[in-house]
Copies of this chain bind each other. A is one copy, B any other.
Amino acid sequence: MSSSMNIHLLGHIHRIGRKARSLNTLFTIDKSEFMGIGTLGVRSWVCAWIIRGSAGFYAGQPPLNRVAFQRHSSEVMNRHLNDPETRFLVFKDGKPLMKKDESGSILFLTKNQLGDDELGKEFGVAPSDASSETKKYYETSRLPHTQPPLVFLGIDDRQSPTTNSSSKVDHLNPQGPAYFALDAQGDTLNWDELLERENGEWGDARSSGNNMSPWDAGVYAQGRALVDWNARNKFCPACGSPTYSLWAGWKRNCLSSVQPIEGKEPCFSTKGLHNFAYPRTDPVIIMGILDSTGEKMLLGRQKSWPKGMYSCLAGFIEPGETFEDATRREVLEEAGIEVGPVRYSSSQPWPFPSNLMVGTFGRAKDGQTIRLDLDNELEDAQWFPKSLLQSIISSPSGSTFSKKDYKQLDDKAQSHHDQESSAALAPSEKKPDELVAKEGELGLSRVPPSTAIAGQLIRQWARGELDLVSKL
């Protein structure tokens, strides 16, 4: 036993070394996850290569430096706002402003290009005679509350990274251009003129991500989630009064905090414990379920999905659940399969509108029959052998989806359950005008691309990367 385990681990470490280099050219790899082989004594760390694929798509690698503590200061935020180097990412109804002639390139604007009318007022401060308690209600506020949402995203400090080993740049004031996201409201004609002048166009809400660089995709995801949250949460869930933005777009309060609202009682959300004020992030579990041999994976499809596409099962995590519990519940509900051990793999932000995908692997118990009649969410679910998945992921058309496919998925992604499943599909690397599944409606011919976490889970398993020594 001991010697075979030994061979097992070494075999993996050697293989991983090769794989890491070749994968590096295919995927965005989180550099900080790479470690050398440490001393392997009894009391020391087990360190080996940890491979992370592009599950970080939409997370940005490296991410913007969010300098979250700067959001509270109107002074600092207004300095960024007025800096000619600052860049603005603009959305209209969730659609990003893109360069017209460069597929996948965000058209970031400067303040000069934008114009004061489109941007709105500077961030406000409290009246000078306000108490320190009252001042909190005005921190980097956007009043009057009817102005278009404006959100500080962070600093692009890639040119002079703030590291502790360098004393040149202070963590308090990272250097580099600031980024904001802005919701395009107001006169449509003005925006039409601006688009004409700057050679921009409103991209597609979902498939614009298609050809974005991973870095741009990270800025896009953060901006989209925050602008969307601000634009949609215009009223207080506690009392129905309007809300206003503060903390440079990262908080919304009931307007009754700063002015009396006619015909309304004092709102309970102005004091006490609640979570109305902060952006929400909805965690979704998505899982690669293996049979007890580890040689088959459970994949399913919904009726509304593009022809031939299967993906990992998925579902929203409910209050009172761990990731592991949620994984077991969802697989039972969707496919009637009981799952034993569950292991976390990776997470991926998914800004449609504000999901956080949590990828797990789980092992099914033996001797079970798939059944779809519990929650009737899936059209089909099957155990697929590793060899079949290997051939699909190595085929050029195995993760290729047409514009029509995306539209089909977008049109359906209007309900809660469809949100879960749409997250199974991410922007494709290739876009043929049309692609016909080679097999029948229920035959597997496509799986999500590697930019989606489901595509990552399937590839990690099919490529034999699951048994890594992934310890600190």
CB-CB under 8 A from A375, the residues of chain B are 68-69
Q: How many copies does the complex hold?
A: 2
Range for the number of chain A residues in contact with chain B: 35 or more
A50 B222 Cβ-Cβ under 8 A: no
A321 B349 Cβ-Cβ under 8 A: yes
Given A164-B367, A320-B218, A322-B348, A280:B275 Cβ within 8 A: yes
A225 B5 Cβ-Cβ under 8 A: no
A222 B320 Cβ-Cβ under 8 A: yes
List CB contacts (< 8 Å) of A35-67 with chain B: 35, 37, 40-42, 44-46, 50, 55-56, 58-60, 63, 66
Q: Mark A272-303, 1 if CB is under 8 A from B, else 0.
A: 11111111111100000010001000000000
Q: How far, in angstroms, from A419 to B275 measured CA to CA in the complex?
A: 10
CB of A405 closer than 8 Å to a CB of B = no
CB of A323 closer than 8 Å to a CB of B = yes
Q: How far, in angstroms, from A294 to B38 measured CA to CA in the complex?
A: 12
Residue of B whose beta carbon sits closest to that of A354? B319
Greatest chain B CB density within 10 A among A42, A218, A320, A414 is at: A320
CB-CB under 8 A from A20, the residues of chain B are none
Given A341-B32, A346-B322, A373-B172, A281:B279 Cβ within 8 A: no
A336 B171 Cβ-Cβ under 8 A: yes
List CB contacts (< 8 Å) of A341-385 with chain B: 341, 343-344, 346-349, 351-354, 356, 361-363, 365, 367-369, 371, 373-376
CB of A324 closer than 8 Å to a CB of B = yes
Residue of B whose beta carbon sits closest to that of A165? B367
B235 A30 Cβ-Cβ under 8 A: no
Least CB distance, A65 to chain B, in whole angstroms:
8
A32 B319 Cβ-Cβ under 8 A: no
Q: How far, in angstroms, from A427 to B11 measured CA to CA in the complex?
A: 46
Q: How far, in angstroms, from A280 to B275 measured CA to CA in the complex?
A: 9
CB of A466 closer than 8 Å to a CB of B = yes
A2 B8 Cβ-Cβ under 8 A: no
- Chain A interface, >50% SS class: loop
Residue of B whose beta carbon sits closest to that of A50? B341
CB-CB under 8 A from A229, the residues of chain B are 319
CB of A271 closer than 8 Å to a CB of B = yes
CB of A246 closer than 8 Å to a CB of B = no
CB of A82 closer than 8 Å to a CB of B = no
B235 A237 Cβ-Cβ under 8 A: yes
CB-CB under 8 A from A242, the residues of chain B are 240
Q: How far, in angstroms, from A368 to B274 measured CA to CA in the complex?
A: 36
A273 B419 Cβ-Cβ under 8 A: yes
Given A273-B419, A322-B348, A69:B333 Cβ within 8 A: yes
B69 A4 Cβ-Cβ under 8 A: no
CB-CB under 8 A from A444, the residues of chain B are none
CB-CB under 8 A from A240, the residues of chain B are 234-236, 240-242
A472 B171 Cβ-Cβ under 8 A: no
CB-CB under 8 A from A416, the residues of chain B are 275, 277-278
Residue of B235, B272, B282 near A414 (CB, 8 A) is B272
Q: How far, in angstroms, from A171 to B370 measured CA to CA in the complex?
A: 12
Given A59-B320, A346-B322, A6:B8 Cβ within 8 A: no
Greatest chain B CB density within 10 A among A221, A290, A361, A471 is at: A471
B349 A33 Cβ-Cβ under 8 A: no
CB of A199 closer than 8 Å to a CB of B = no
Known A232-B274, A283-B283; further 15 A-B contacts with Cβ < 8 A? A5-B6, A35-B340, A46-B467, A63-B321, A221-B319, A229-B319, A235-B239, A235-B240, A274-B353, A275-B353, A275-B354, A275-B416, A281-B282, A281-B317, A322-B349
Given A279-B319, A280-B280, A320-B349, A237:B239 Cβ within 8 A: no
Greatest chain B CB density within 10 A among A9, A59, A318, A466 is at: A318
